[in-house]
Structure 1
Amino acid sequence: MNIFRRVLRWLFILGGIVAGLITAIAAFFAQRLIQPLRQPLWGTPDQLDMTYEDVTFPATDGVRLSGWFIPAPANSPRKGATLIMVHGWGWNRLGEAATDVVANMTGASQVDLLRLAHSLYKDGFGLLMYDGRNHGESGSQAPMQFGETEAQDVVGAIAYLQGRPEVAANRIGALGFSAGANTVLYALAETDEIQAAVAVQPTSPAHFAERFGVHQFGFLGRVILPLAELMFQQAGGRPLKEYRLGTAVAQAGQTPVLYIQGIDDPWGSPEDVQQMAIATPNPSGPLLVPGTDRYSGYQYLIDNPAIATAFFEQHLPE
Structure 2
Amino acid sequence: MFGKVISNMMVKPGQSPLFDSPDAYGLDYEDVAFQTEDGVTLRGWLIHGGSDKVIVQTHFGVQCNRGGWTPKGHGPITPWKQDIKFLRQAEYLMEQGYSVLMYDMRGHGESDLGPIPWVSWGPEEAKDVIGAVDFVSARFPEASIGLLSICMGSASTTYAYGRDNGLAERKNVKAMIAVQPLLYTCFMKALGMPNFMVKAGEKVSEQRLGFDMGQPNFVKEAHNVTVPTLVVQNKNDPWTQLGMVEDYYQALTVEKDMRMLDIEKSRFAAYDYVGSHPEELMGWFDRYM
| Alignment TM-score, normalising by the size of structure 2 | 0.90
Instruction: Return the alpha-carbon distance in structure 1 between the equivalents of residues 200 and 73 of structure 2.
Output: 23
What is aligned with 1:147?
122
Q: Which runs of 5+ in 1 are unaligned?
A: 1-22
What is aligned with 2:89?
116
Q: 1:159 aligns with which of 122, 134, 141?
A: 134
Q: Which runs of 5+ in 2 are unaligned?
A: none
Give the deviation of 1:200 after TM superposition.
Answer: 0.5
Q: 1:304 aligns with which of 274, 277, 280?
A: 277
Q: 1:202 aligns with which of 151, 161, 181?
A: 181
One-letter amino acid matched to 2:129: V
What is aligned with 2:249?
277
Instruction: Return the alpha-carbon distance in structure 1 between the equivalents of residues 79 and 266 of structure 2.
Output: 9
1:100–1:183 distance in 2 versus 1, CA, 3 Å: same
One-letter amino acid matched to 2:242: P
Q: Quick one: higher RCO (CA 8 Å, sep 6+), 1 or 2?
A: 2
List, as ranges, runs of 4+ consecutive aligned residues in structure 1 with deviation greater than 6 Å: none
Q: Say how many residue pairs are matched.
A: 278
Q: What is the root-mean-square deviation of aligned Cα atoms in Å?
A: 1.8
What is aligned with 2:19?
42
User: What is the aligned-residue identity percentage?
Assistant: 26
Structure (1 or 2) with the larger CA radius of gyration: 1
Deviations 1:189-209 (A, max 9, x none): 321322111110011111111
**1:173–1:197 Cα contact (<8 Å) kept:** yes
Instruction: Return the alpha-carbon distance in structure 2 between the equivalents of residues 104 and 139 of structure 1.
Output: 29
* Higher-helix-fraction structure: 1
Instruction: Return the alpha-carbon distance in structure 2 between the equivalents of residues 248 and 170 of structure 1.
Output: 26
Q: 2:55 aligns with which of 83, 86, 108?
A: 83
Give the deviation of 1:281 after TM superposition.
Answer: 1.0
1:237–1:34 distance in 2 versus 1, CA, 3 Å: farther
SS, match of residue 146 in structure 1: coil
Give the deviation of 1:274 after TM superposition.
Answer: 0.8
Instruction: Return the alpha-carbon distance in structure 2 between the equivalents of residues 144 and 105 of structure 1.
Output: 23
Instruction: Return the alpha-carbon distance in structure 2 between the equivalents of residues 237 and 126 of structure 1.
Output: 37
**2:123–2:156 Cα contact (<8 Å) kept:** yes
1:186 aligns with 2:165: no
What is aligned with 1:125?
98
Q: 2:237 aligns with which of 251, 265, 271?
A: 265
| Alignment TM-score, normalising by the size of structure 1 | 0.82
Instruction: Return the alpha-carbon distance in structure 2 between the equivalents of residues 245 and 311 of structure 1.
Output: 22
